Chain A
Amino acid sequence: MKLHEYQAKSIFADAGIPVPDSRLATSVEEALDAVDEIGYPAAIKAQVHVGGRGKAGGIEIATDREEAEAYAERILGMDLKGYTVDQVLVEAGVDFVDELYVGVTMDRSEGKPVLMVSTEGGVDIEEVAAETPDAIAREHVDPAFGLHPYQARKVVYEAGVDADVALDVASILSTLYDLYEDSDASEIEVNPVMVTSDRDVVAADAVMNIDEDALFRQPDLAELAEASYEDDLERKAGEYGFDYVRLSGNVGIIGNGAGLVMTTLDLVDYYGGKPANFLDIGGGAKAERVTKALDMVFSDPNVDSVVFNIFGGITRGDEVAKGINEALAEFDEIPKPVVVRLAGTNAEEGMEILNTDLIEVEETLEAAVQRAVKNAEEVAQ
């Protein structure tokens, strides 16, 4: 779960990390009131859950009121990589001489949290990591002991941070690690930490992602889990509890289990089609979930044909067939051609009750996908 910059910064500020003075605004008027209080220069920053906001035109620095108004007007309501901007953070500009990167994340291959520091802040850190990996200093933390303060100092010195600000940066990093642990974050990143001409350090940006699996014990953070869906279908999927990803093609895909659904997507592509979505109904789905999944994919205007692929382990073929029949019951004519393939637990029972007047059935995954791709081509013509 992603937090907005303003939410993360408020958590940072509460924990004692220095952040620039800022206000949240949802209208041009509010933005102008905010700059009047904060003064110039002021940054106007789109609050949406996407990376690379600056490059995409979602961050501007205003040096006077006229500019502030123009930027606020442009950014509020703009489409940023598929998200509509409905709030901006208005923030005091920082007179900086240096930009650093600091972050805490989980190193999967080590199974341990890792601290990261670089003096090449303010730019895409993933590019830095790819091109000059040595420019990022790393220190693993033992998850059972937690962070030893020396480790924060060590990694900051190792990165080559200027000696006069090194301890201040280490202190920020150490606080970030505490936040990482206390809030079950999956990632916390400040890029950049700005070093001002007065040699102060300020967290000028804030990325904080929370492990969704831990939200049950983070009630305050769970409340911030506003719907950050790209469109109504993703919102609907979220409400139904499906794992759903919208894609750009026209073959709708429903299946059980992440690996098998991914494989079905890949096969659609392999046989010359274009997947419209990833939809995993999960394990042990009952008829009602199946009906909802089919309704969802039918209601996607991009979908021309559907492939429904179930390999039952804990999911039972007869339950799936029941759900498909229920979804179809309201139609005299199928809205979009559907190919069904059932295998595994109770697949035969499922095939027996399946209403094959409206749908097509295939025995193998490969055949089902090929037929759905062909259907999509015919509908699209």
Chain B
Amino acid sequence: MSIFVDDDTRVVVQGITGGEGNFHAEQMIQYGTNVVAGAVPGKGGQEAAGVPVYDTVDEAVEAEDADASVVFVPPAFAADAVFEALDTDLDLVVAITEGIPTQDMAKVNKRLGEVDTRLLGPNCPGIITPGEAKLGILPGNIFADGNVGLVSRSGTLTYQVVDNLTERGIGQTTAIGIGGDPIIGTSFIDALEAFEADAETEAVVMCGEIGGEDEEEAAAFIGEHMDTPVAGFIAGRTAPPGKRMGHAGAIVSGSGTGTAQSKIDALNDAGVPVGDTPEEVADHVESFL
């Protein structure tokens, strides 16, 4: 079992003829993902990464029966690409693009409330169900099939924690990078809810970072609704207020909201142990299994 993606997921890659889109389409295929088509305006009829390219997502879905898309479109056009995918009645849209204007994402967010499609990202590494499917840019070789779910705001931090788990022989059901932007489609809570409902997921790791209040809200959700044990990690304990730490969303505001301590406290209050190091996170997970 897994959440959101598996063996049957049929993927269209938006922006498959671009450098990144092409490279990662090939990587996804190599991993065993069912990439069935590409969609690039003006490139219909061509082939890329060994799959047919269509001018619109609609055509691609129609012809190849796709149910998910991955967006590798440059920031200026990415919101439009996400709207196109949302309007095509897919189950899942994964937006990898970094640097989409926030006001564009607010409009996307509004549309999300009106459709049944799940959006993951933007500015995220994607999602992987080890051994079945990978939608995004995660390095497949560090993951292993197993019983731990992982949800994280950051890409490389996900890799670090997964590596600590895999090294100990602890595999993953599904790992999800939800993205570091202020406005994102899938929240911690959405992922946690799905992991809680997944019979094979026996423990969950949640990696958060400074900025916003998503981790606090997730902590409240865990306290009220989850029986599956959760271990946490929060990046940015040493970040000074008012300085954006890379991610647009990773900033401690002047009034003291969004601090690592408030997130750690909230998680601890919900019974979630928070590791001081990634290695300690793996210790906690091991103790759950």
Contact = CB atoms under 8 A, between A and B. Distances in A.
Contact of B103 (A214, A260, A267, A283): A214
A259 B106 contact: no
B167 to A, nearest CB: 9
A244 to B, nearest CB: 9
Interface string A117-137: 000000000110110000000
B284 interface: no
B278 interface: yes
A265 B209 CA distance: 13
Contacts of B242: 51
A262 B155 contact: no
Interface stretch (B9-17, B135-143, B190-198): B135-143
Interface stretch (A36-44, A150-158, A198-206, A306-314): A306-314
Interface residues of A, number: 54
Nearest to A265: B238
B225 interface: no
Interface string A260-277: 111101111110000100
28 contacts: A108-B212, A109-B212, A112-B109, A127-B255, A143-B109, A144-B107, A184-B103, A213-B100, A213-B101, A216-B75, A243-B244, A245-B240, A247-B240, A257-B156, A259-B155, A259-B156, A259-B207, A262-B238, A263-B157, A263-B233, A269-B238, A278-B243, A313-B138, A313-B155, A314-B137, A344-B163, A365-B277, A366-B278
Contacts of B222: none
B160 A260 contact: yes
A83 to B, nearest CB: 13
A258 B183 CA distance: 17
Given A108-B182, A259-B156, A344 B142 contact: yes
Contacts of A259: 152-158, 180, 207, 209, 235, 246-247, 250
Given A186-B102, A259-B157, 17 more contacts: A51-B254, A143-B109, A144-B107, A213-B75, A243-B244, A245-B244, A259-B180, A262-B157, A262-B246, A266-B236, A266-B237, A269-B238, A275-B238, A278-B245, A313-B139, A344-B142, A365-B160
Contacts of B214: 109
A245 B137 CA distance: 26
Nearest to A270: B276
A108 B157 contact: no
Most buried by A among B154, B159, B209, B214: B159
Contacts of A261: 245-246
Given A213-B75, A270-B276, A111 B237 contact: no
B246 to A, nearest CB: 3
Interface in A227-271: 243, 245, 247, 255-263, 265-270
Given A106-B102, A142-B110, A266-B238, A313 B159 contact: yes
Given A259-B153, A263-B160, A245 B110 contact: no
B103 A211 contact: yes
A262 B255 contact: no
Contacts of A278: 239, 243, 245-246
Interface of A: 51, 106, 108-109, 111-113, 126-127, 129-130, 142-144, 181, 184, 186, 211, 213-214, 216-217, 243, 245, 247, 255-263, 265-270, 275, 278, 280, 283, 311-314, 343-345, 364-366
Most-contacted residue by chain A among B20, B106, B217 (CB, 10 A): B106
B235 A262 contact: yes
Interface of B: 20, 24, 75-76, 99-107, 109-111, 125, 137-139, 142, 152-160, 163, 180, 182-183, 207, 209-210, 212-214, 217, 233, 235-240, 242-250, 253-256, 260, 276-279
Nearest to A141: B106
B236 A365 contact: no
Contacts of B277: 267, 270, 365-366
Contact of A283 (B155, B236, B243, B260): B155
B154 A257 contact: yes
B83 to A, nearest CB: 11
A262 B236 contact: yes
A234 B207 CA distance: 28
Contacts of A184: 101, 103
Nearest to B114: A144
Contacts of B246: 243, 257-259, 261-262, 278, 280
